Copies of this chain bind each other. A is one copy, B any other.
Amino acid sequence: MANATIKDVARRAGVGLGTVSRVLNNHPRVSADTRERVLHAIAELGFRPNATARRLPRKTDLRHIGVLTHPFVKNYHSIAERLRGMQRELEAAGKGLEIVLFVASSPDHYAAHLTSITQNTPVMGLIIIDLDLTPQQEQVLRSAHIPFVGINNFVGRSWPCVSTDNEEGGYVAARFLTALGHRRIAYIGDNLFDSFGFPTSQARYTGYARALNEVGIHLNTRYVKLGDHGYEAAARLTRELVALAQPPTAIFAMSDLQAAGCIGALREMKLRVPDDISVMGYDDTELALSLGLTTVRQHLELSGQLGMQWLLAMIEGQEQPSPPALPPVEVVTRLTTGAPRKLGVRDAEETE
């Protein structure tokens, strides 16, 4: 059944429209008696005021910031940290804005979200995490005059993005390991077959490959293992790596969670970290802290803060404020990395 309107309530209570409205808004000038009658009618009809209709004459816009992202199945850590940063910034701004979370389960759903947001959803601005925009999609947002910024992995786009340099991160990690003397360095990353085609793992891999190339290490594809983003998959890939005729002396995992999977698997196999094999992660999460994991720090929360800051500035009217600078990625050295066990391995490999 359709919801009752104040008209129905008014009729039922035998009063005028305005009176009902006054009761609804706790207006003082209503007699206790009338108020009682109206309240009664409201209860009887199960009347619930239409929030949209209230908003129109009041001219109070909905104060929402949209955050559009993918389903954070396993790697919700990065999303959560970024959301936290945004939330913090939003609160610091003190404008009473709220975050509306849109989660796109597929590229089609993502596209649907974009049009629905521009057409029907009153957001004051939009932050897009991890997902790219086609030129058409960008055009749609622009022509709708919705300020928007992207976060993560949108290097070189024509629209505002807080980009985290994943390639640099992969490079830095691999160079860190080669500097320790490692030559057989494995990479564990996300498989590239997910429908969204996130470029993060790919970018980190590219950096890793560049680093190896730079120091004259031949890229051994048997050392490159891709799987689901999660503990279990990484553990399985690690077992595969260890089972190789010539196992790697170091593993660079594209996330702390995956690095944790490596460490778990190695522990099960009674291999010591870093004595037998070094492990590096990525993100510098609490997980890295508690595992003593050497990792790449990428300022997740800050990326959310900066993105929100930027967006708010755009909403304020600055056409395109200067992009905020995210600190460079850096290796955080802890306990899971060390020199390869057998010195001379390098020569052994080279003569094979």
Q: Is the CB of A72 within 8 A of B61?
A: no
Distance (Å) between the CB of A50 and the closest chain B CB? 8
Residues of B within 8 A of A146 (CB): 48
Q: How far is the CA of A72 from the CA of B98 in the complex (A)?
A: 15
Q: How many copies does the complex hold?
A: 2
A91 close to chain B: CB less than 8 A: yes
Q: Are A52 and B56 in contact (CB under 8 A)?
A: yes
* Residues of A53-107 whose CB lies within 8 A of B: 53-56, 60-62, 64, 71-74, 76-77, 79-81, 83-84, 87-88, 91, 98-103, 105
Shortest CB-to-CB span from A195 to chain B, Å, is: 14
Q: What B residues does A289 contact at CB under 8 A?
A: 231, 260, 264
Name the contact of A87 in the complex, choosing from B56, B71, B257 (C-beta under 8 A): B71
* Cβ-based interface call for A207 (8 A): no
Q: Inside 8 A of A55's CB, which chain B residues have their CB?
A: 52, 120
Report how far A53 CA is from B122 CA in the complex, Å: 10
A213 at the interface (CB under 8 A from B): no
Q: Does A111 contact B (CB under 8 A)?
A: no
Interchain CA distance A47-B144 in the complex, whole Å: 9
- From A66, which residue of chain B is reached at the shortest CB distance? B98
Closest chain B CB from A4 CB (angstroms): 11
How many angstroms from the CA of A64 to the CA of B100 in the assembled complex?
A: 9
Interface string of A167-189 (1 = CB under 8 A from B): 00000000000000000000000
With both beta carbons as reference points, the residue of chain B lying nearest to A25 in the complex is identified as B119
Q: Which residues of B sit under 8 angstroms from A52, Cβ to Cβ?
A: 52, 55-56, 61-62, 122
Whether A31 sits at the interface, judged by CB under 8 Å, is no
- Indicate whether A267 reaches chain B with its CB closer than 8 angstroms: yes
Q: How far is the CB of A32 from chain B (nearest CB, A)?
A: 17
Listed A/B pairs (18) with beta-carbon separation below 8 Å: A43-B143, A48-B144, A48-B146, A50-B61, A51-B62, A52-B56, A55-B120, A62-B121, A64-B100, A73-B84, A80-B80, A87-B101, A98-B103, A99-B100, A231-B290, A260-B290, A264-B290, A287-B291
Q: Does A161 contact B (CB under 8 A)?
A: no
B121 with A51: CB separation less than 8 A: yes
Give the chain B neighbours of A72 by CB distance below 8 A.
80, 84
What is the bound-complex CA distance between A227 and B42, given in angstroms?
48
CB distance from A287 to the nearest CB of B (A): 6
Neighbour of A100 across the interface among B98, B119, B145, B335, CB < 8 A: B98
A287 to B83 alpha-carbon distance, docked (Å) = 19
Are the CB atoms of B103 and A87 closer together than 8 Å? yes
A36 at the interface (CB under 8 A from B): no
A105 → chain B closest CB, angstroms: 6
A54 to B83 CA separation, bound complex (whole angstroms) = 29
* A313 CA to B313 CA, complexed, in Å: 41
- A269 CA to B83 CA, complexed, in Å: 35
A286 on interface, CB distance cutoff 8 Å: yes
Chain B residues near A335: list those with CB within 8 A.
267
A145, B84: Cβ atoms closer than 8 Å: no
Interface check A14, CB cutoff 8 A: no
For residue A261, CB closer than 8 A to chain B, the reply is: yes
**Separation of A208 and B120 alpha carbons in the complex (Å):** 51
A261 with B290: CB separation less than 8 A: yes
Q: Is A18 an interface residue (CB 8 A)?
A: no
